C-alpha cells in the first residue's frame, strides 16, 4: 500500500483509508494507493470494502496542480473502473466534503453513506471545467437530468440530507462516529445480500426529457455565463448521458474535459483560484504574527454601507453597536438592516428565526460612550477627510487601548486619518464594497504606522466574515478606485468620439463585464462621481474630461434614482432604455469641442477602457501599493465584477501580450496626447523584454 493510503481487514470488512492532508486531494500517490487497495481486497477474506478518509474531510477534489501537466498513471478513470468492477460491494463513507473527483470516486462505489454534516458536490465549473471522471454521466442517472444540470452548472455543494433525497446518497448515518457506523452499514449490506449497484447500468429514457430541454438550458445558461464556456459543455455531456451508452458518454465527457483544461477561460479561473489564496498572505509578515481578539465591533454611520458592514459581523455571531449622529438617523439605519434581512428571508436564503437572532446582535446608539469597550470600530461616514479626522479624534479619546480603529474610506489618506489619533499603530483601512453584506472584496489598507498585529487581525477578521482580502498601501483610491479612473474617463471620451452609451456598455458586457461603465455610473449615481471630482485638485483642466457626466448631473439626471442618466429607466422595473435626448446632446457637445465623430470598433472600445486599468496597475506595482499583480486581479474580480473567465486585468494583459498593450497605448498617446496615455515604465520595460507581469512577479519572489 501507499504511505498515504492504508488497507486493513476488520472482520469481514476491508477498510481503505486515505490520509493525504490537508484535504485528501486525488494526487497520483492517492490514486495508485486506492487502486492497489481495491485490487488487494479482491483476493482476501473481505465481503465488503469501505472507502474512508482520515482528517477533516473525505476526498475534497482533484490535485489541480497536476492540470496542464503530462498525466501520471494511474488516471482517475482507471481507479474508478476498478472500484465499479469490484466483485465485492464498495461503500464510500463520507465526512466533511466529497467534491469534484472525490465525489466522482464516491459515485463509482456501489453504495454511499455519510454523516449528517457532510456535503457533496461537483464544483469544477467554478474553475472553468466540468467533471472529467464520470460525474456528468452518473449524476443524471441517479438524480435525474434536471437536478444534475442544476447541480453541475452551479457547482454548489449539497448537504447530506438533501443529497439523500436526490438519490446521491444511499444512507445518512445516525451517528457522527463514521468509522464504526460505516462498518456497521457495510455488514448490514452483506447480511442482506445487497446487490452490486453500478450507476453505469442505469439507462435514462430519452422520452423522459422534454424535446427543447437542452436548447432552453443552453440559452438560459448563456445569459449568466459571462464569457465562460464550461456551462455549455456541461449541457453537452448531460445530453450525451441521455442519448449515448455509458462508455460513449464517458468518452464524450473526457473529450470536452480536455478541451476545457486547455482553454483560456479555465486558465484564467484557475489563476484566480490561486490568486485569492495568495492575496491573503502578507509579504514580510510571519504566519505566527499574533492577532487581537475581536469579540465586539462598532460601526460609525448607519447608512447603506454602515448597515451592510454591521450585517457582515452579525452574520457570524459577533455583536455590533451601530453609532449614528441622532435618533432619526439611527432608526433609519436599523430599518435598512431589517429590510435587507427581510429580502433575504423572502428569497428563502434565511429563516425568520436566524434573522431575529442576527438583528438581536445589532444594537444602536448615539453616544460614543457606548462603544468604549469594543475591540474593533469601523468608521463608514461620508467621504470627507476633515469629518473622518474629527471622528477618529473622538475614537482616540473613547475607545479602550488596543482597540483597532478602522476607516472604510474609498479614497482618503489613511495616514492623515491616523494622524488625528495618538495611536496610529492601531489605525488601518478596511474598504468594503457596496452592498457590503453581499460584495466579497475587502481592501485592507496598511498605513505607514499600522502595527503588524493590527494588520494581521484585519486580514483574519475579514476572512471570518466571508470576505476575500487584498492588501493595499496608502494612495488616492488605493488599488481598485485609483485604477478605475481611466476606465470611466475613456468610457465618456468614447461618447464624444462617436459612440452611443449603449455601444460602449454593450461591448464591455459582451466581453463579460456584468454591467458597462455608463450603466454602472447610473446605478451608483452620477452625482457621487461628480461630488468626488469637485473635491479633487489634481484633475487636469480639460473641457472633455467627464464632460457628459458633469452635464447630466447639472441637468439633475443622476441615474436610476432620478429615472434618467446616460439612459432612461422604467419607473417600475428600472429597465434601461436608450435616450435620444442624450445621444443628441453628445453630438452637440462633440461639435462644440471640435471633435469629429466617427465609427468606433468594439476592439477600440475594449482597448480604450481596459488598457488604462493595466497601465495604472503597472504604476501601482512599481510604487509598491499592491504586493503582486495577482492581488490586483483579485481586487477587480471580486470588487468590480471583472469577468473571472478573463482572470483580472493583469492576467488579461499577459494573455493579450504586454508588447501589444504597450504598442496600443503608444498609438493612443500619439493620437490623443500624453496627458492620459503615458506608458508606465514597468509596462514599457516588460514589453521590450518580452516578459509578463507573472514572470516579473516570480523573479521578485
pLDDT band with cut points at 50, 70 and 90 for residue 174 = confident
Look at residue 202 and tell me if it is in a domain.
yes
Cis check: omega of the bond before 63, within 30 degrees of 0 = no
Q: Taking the model in full, what pTM does it have?
A: 0.91
pLDDT at residue 3, as a whole number: 82
Task: Reply yes or no on whether 104 is catalytic.
Answer: yes
Distances (CA, A) of 547 to 179, 272, 530, 589, 608: 69, 36, 10, 8, 17
Q: Closest Cα to residue 478, out of 640, 675, 658?
A: 640
Q: Which grid cell sits at 444?
A: 485592507
Q: Determine the pLDDT at residue 533.
A: 87
Which grid cell sits at 595? 471633435
pLDDT at 385: 93
Q: Kindly state whether residues 395 and 531 are assigned to the same domain.
A: no
CATH code where residue 208 lies: 3.90.226.10
Within this chain, do residues 502 and 427 fall inside the same structural domain, yes or no?
no
Would you say residue 268 lies in a domain?
A: no
Q: Is the confidence at residue 2, as pLDDT, over 80?
A: no
| 238 and 314 housed in the same domain | no
Model confidence band, residue 333 (pLDDT cutoffs 50, 70, 90)? very high
422 within some domain: yes
Q: For residue 534, what pLDDT band results from cuts at 50, 70 and 90? A: confident
Domain boundary among the residues 476, 497, 519 is at 476
Q: Is residue 436, in this structure, part of any structural domain at all?
A: yes
- Grid cell locating 691: 516578459
Model confidence at 577, pLDDT cuts 50, 70, 90, reads very high
Report how far residue 236's alpha carbon sits from residue 121's, in angstroms, rounded to the nearest whole number: 19
Band of the pLDDT at 125, cuts 50, 70, 90? Answer: very high
- The domain total for the chain is 4
Residue that finishes a domain, picked among 428, 460, 476: 476
Residues 691 and 559 in one domain: no
Whether the predicted pLDDT of 475 surpasses 80: yes
178 and 111, same domain (yes or no): yes
454 shares a domain with 497: no
Among residues 446, 476, 506, the one where a domain terminates is 476
124 catalytic residue (yes or no): yes
Collapse the DSSP code of 7 into the 3-class scheme (helix H, G, I; strand E, B; otherwise coil) and give the result.
strand
Say how many C-beta atoms besides its own lie within 10 A of residue 343's C-beta: 11
Cβ atoms within 10 Å of 327's Cβ, excluding its own: 10
Same domain, 513 and 618: no
Over range 488-505, report the average pLDDT: 97
**Residues 627 and 471 sit within 8 Å (Cβ to Cβ):** yes
CATH of residue 449's domain is: 3.40.50.720
* Of 66, 73, 84, 104, catalytic: 104
Residues ≥6 apart with Cβ < 8 Å to 340: 307, 308, 311, 435, 437
Q: Where are the alpha helices (DSSP H) in 419-546?
A: 452-464, 480-497, 501-511, 517-524, 526-534
CATH value at residue 582: 1.10.1040.10
Query: C-alpha grid cell for residue 231?
Result: 456551462
Q: Are residues 582 and 613 in the same domain?
A: no
Mean pLDDT of 539-564: 94
281: in domain: no
Write down the catalytic residue from 32, 84, 124, 490: 124
Whole-number Å distance between alpha carbons of 311 and 315: 6
Dump pLDDT digits (tens) for 598-628.
999 999 999 999 999 999 999 999 999 999 9
CA–CA distance, 89 with 85 (Å, rounded to integer):
9
Mean pLDDT of the chain: 95
- For residue 1, pLDDT beyond 70: no
Report pLDDT digits (tens) over 402-421: 999 999 999 999 999 999 99
361 with 443, same domain? yes
Average confidence (pLDDT) over 471-479: 96
Q: Is residue 656 situated within a structural domain? A: yes
Bridge partners for 93 per DSSP: 113
Residues 253, 105 share a domain: yes
Question: Looking at the domain assignment, is residue 374 inside a domain?
Answer: yes
* Together in a domain, 462 and 514: no
In terms of domains, do 464 and 366 share one? yes
pLDDT band at 63 (very low <50, low <70, confident <90, very high): confident
Phi and psi at residue 520, to the nearest 5°: -65, -40
Domain limits for position 613: 602-625+644-700
Helix, strand, coil share of the chain (percent; to 5) = 50, 10, 35
CATH assignment at residue 671 = 1.10.1040.50
**Strand order in 297-300's β-sheet?**
362-365, 320-323, 297-300, 376-379, 404-407, 427-432, 441-446, 468-473
Residue 271 lies in a domain: no
pLDDT of residue 68: 65
State phi, psi for 253 to the nearest 5 degrees.
Answer: -60, -45
pLDDT of residue 57: 96
Q: Is residue 377 over pLDDT 90?
A: yes
Rg (the chain; Cα; Å): 28
Which one, of 6, 203, 185, 186, lies nearest residue 88 by Cα? 186
- Report which of 322, 324, 349, 325 is spatially closest to residue 337, judged by C-alpha positions: 322
Amino acid at each position: 500500500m501507499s504511505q498515504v493510503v492504508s488497507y486493513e481487514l476488520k472482520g469481514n470488512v476491508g477498510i481503505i483509508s486515505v490520509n493525504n492532508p490537508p484535504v485528501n486531494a486525488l494526487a497520483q500517490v492517492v490514486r495508485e494507493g486506492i487502486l492497489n487497495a481495491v485490487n488487494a481486497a479482491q483476493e482476501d477474506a473481505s465481503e465488503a470494502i469501505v472507502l474512508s478518509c482520515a482528517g477533516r474531510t473525505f476526498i475534497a477534489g482533484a490535485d489541480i496542480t497536476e492540470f496542464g501537466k503530462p498525466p501520471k498513471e494511474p488516471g482517475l478513470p482507471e481507479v474508478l473502473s476498478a472500484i465499479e468492477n469490484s466483485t465485492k460491494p464498495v461503500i464510500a463513507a463520507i465526512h466533511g466534503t466529497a467534491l469534484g473527483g472525490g465525489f466522482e470516486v464516491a459515485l463509482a462505489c456501489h453504495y454511499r453513506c455519510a454523516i449528517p454534516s457532510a456535503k457533496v458536490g461537483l464544483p469544477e465549473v467554478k474553475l472553468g471545467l466540468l467533471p472529467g471522471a464520470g460525474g456528468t454521466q452518473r449524476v443524471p442517472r441517479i438524480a435525474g437530468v434536471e437536478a444534475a444540470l442544476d447541480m453541475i452548472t452551479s457547482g454548489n455543494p449539497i448537504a447530506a440530507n438533501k443529497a439523500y433525497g436526490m438519490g446521491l446518497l444511499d444512507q445518512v448515518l445516525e451517528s457522527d462516529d463514521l468509522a464504526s457506523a460505516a462498518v456497521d452499514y457495510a455488514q448490514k449490506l452483506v447480511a442482506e445480500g445487497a446487490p452490486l449497484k453500478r450507476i453505469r447500468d442505469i439507462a435514462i429514457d430519452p422520452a423522459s426529457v422534454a424535446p427543447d430541454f437542452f436548447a432552453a438550458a443552453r440559452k438560459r445558461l448563456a445569459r449568466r455565463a459571462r464569457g465562460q464556456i464550461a456551462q455549455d459543455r456541461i449541457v453537452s455531456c448531460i445530453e450525451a448521458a441521455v442519448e449515448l451508452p455509458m462508455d460513449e458518454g464517458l468518452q464524450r465527457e473526457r473529450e470536452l474535459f480536455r478541451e476545457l483544461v486547455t482553454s483560456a477561460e479555465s486558465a484564467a479561473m484557475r489563476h484566480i483560484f490561486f490568486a485569492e489564496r495568495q492575496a491573503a498572505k502578507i509579504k514580510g509578515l510571519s504566519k505566527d504574527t499574533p492577532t487581537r481578539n475581536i469579540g465586539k465591533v462598532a460601526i460609525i454611520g448607519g447608512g447603506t454601507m454602515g448597515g451592510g458592514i454591521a450585517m457582515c459581523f452579525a452574520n457570524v455571531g459577533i455583536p455590533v453597536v451601530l453609532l449614528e449622529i441622532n435618533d432619526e438617523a439611527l432608526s433609519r439605519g436599523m430599518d435598512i438592516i431589517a429590510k435587507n434581512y427581510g429580502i433575504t428571508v423572502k428569497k428563502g436564503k434565511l429563516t425568520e428565526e436566524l434573522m431575529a437572532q442576527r438583528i438581536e446582535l445589532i444594537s444602536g446608539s448615539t453616544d460614543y460612550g457606548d462603544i468604549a469597550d469594543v475591540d474593533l470600530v469601523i468608521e463608514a461616514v461620508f467621504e470627507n477627510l476633515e469629518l473622518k479626522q474629527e471622528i477618529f479624534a473622538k475614537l482616540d479619546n473613547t475607545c479602550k487601548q488596543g482597540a483597532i480603529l478602522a476607516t472604510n474610506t474609498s479614497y482618503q489618506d489613511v495616514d492623515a486619518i491616523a494622524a488625528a489619533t495618538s495611536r496610529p499603530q492601531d489605525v488601518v483601512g478596511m474598504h468594503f464594497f457596496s452592498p457590503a453584506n453581499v460584495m466579497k472584496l475587502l481592501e485592507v489598507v496598511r498605513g505607514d504606522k499600522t502595527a503588524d498585529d493590527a494588520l494581521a487581525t484585519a486580514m483574519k477578521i475579514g476572512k471570518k466574515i466571508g470576505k476575500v482580502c487584498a492588501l493595499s498601501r496608502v494612495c488616492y483610491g488605493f488599488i481598485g478606485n485609483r485604477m478605475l479612473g481611466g476606465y470611466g474617463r475613456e468610457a465618456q471620451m468614447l461618447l464624444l468620439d462617436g459612440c452611443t452609451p449603449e455601444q460602449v456598455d454593450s461591448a464591455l458586457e459582451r466581453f463579460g463585464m456584468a454591467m458597462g461603465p455608463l450603466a454602472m455610473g447610473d446605478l451608483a449615481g452620477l452625482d457621487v462621481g461628480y461630488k468626488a471630482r469637485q473635491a479633487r485638485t489634481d484633475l487636469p483642466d480639460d473641457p472633455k474630461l467627464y464632460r457628459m457626466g458633469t452635464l447630466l448631473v447639472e441637468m439633475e439626471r443622476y441615474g436610476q434614482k432620478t429615472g434618467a442618466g446616460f439612459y432612461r429607466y422604467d419607473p417600475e422595473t428600472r429597465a434601461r432604455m436608450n435616450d435620444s435626448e442624450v445621444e443628441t446632446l453628445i453630438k452637440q457637445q462633440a461639435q462644440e469641442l471640435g471633435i469629429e465623430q466617427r465609427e468606433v470598433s468594439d476592439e477600440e472600445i475594449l482597448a480604450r477602457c481596459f488598457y488604462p486599468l493595466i497601465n495604472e496597475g503597472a504604476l501601482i506595482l512599481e510604487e509598491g501599493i499592491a504586493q503582486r499583480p495577482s492581488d490586483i486581479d483579485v481586487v477587480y474580480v471580486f470588487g468590480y465584477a471583472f469577468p473571472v473567465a478573463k482572470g483580472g486585468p493583469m492576467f488579461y494583459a499577459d494573455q493579450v501580450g504586454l508588447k501589444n498593450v504597450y504598442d496600443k497605448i503608444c498609438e493612443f498617446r500619439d493620437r490623443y496626447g500624453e496627458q492620459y496615455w503615458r506608458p508606465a515604465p514597468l509596462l514599457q520595460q516588460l514589453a521590450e523584454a518580452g516578459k509578463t507581469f507573472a514572470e516579473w512577479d516570480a523573479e521578485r519572489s
